[in-house]
Amino acid sequence: GAGKVYATARDPRSVTHPDAVPVALEVTDPASVAAAAVQAGDVTVLINNAGASVGASFLDSPVEDVRREFETNFYGPLLLTRAFVPVIERNGGGHLLNVHSVLSWIALGGSYSASKAALWSQTNSLRLELRSRGIAVTGLHVGYVDTDLAAGVDAPKSDPRDIAALALDGIETGAYEVLADDVSRQVKAGLAGDLAGLYAQLAK
């Protein structure tokens, strides 16, 4: 197990787990990210799991809403990775895990899907860039998880404890990707077929 676990939040007082070290973090703020990297200077594993969804449509929503989702879902993990890669290197190497979504592979969430697809591509690129620097990279794909982000969704949801266990198994085994539930496995398999297999409205 980990010798120390840092848990980040905009308000560190909201971190209540007795074994976690709270760290203030706003993932879209470069100064906040830099401060977190200084405070957590002994990190060897970075897990990027922040996410934001405002239901933005490419055509009908304010462009600011689209940018907000990309700032959190794409640029946030990028800022953190850039800040923590030197930390992990100094500590002898380690692991990066980015939490994606099944919506990385199927465009049912407007700009949220696009931001997660961009993160998937970022993860794949980082895996190649970091290979020679002693940092392994895993992408975690999952459907709905029983968290605040999915509170308004009426659909089956995974237990976050089960997802966390799968993520840690993926880190331990050095998996490139972890497909954490049936829907993620089904949708990824569907990428090899015709688009109409993923999007019923395209079927003729």
* Catalytic center residues: 112
List the one residue out of 183, 170, 103, 165 whose CA is nearest residue 140.
170
Which residues, including other chains, have CB under 8 Å from residue 40's CB and lie 6 or more apart?
6, 21, 23, 84, 87
Q: What is the SS3 assignment for 31-67?
A: HHHHHHHHHCCCCCEEEECCCCCCCCCCCCCCHHHHH
Is the Cβ–Cβ distance between 137 and 176 less than 8 Å?
Answer: yes
Strands 177-179 and 94-99: unpaired
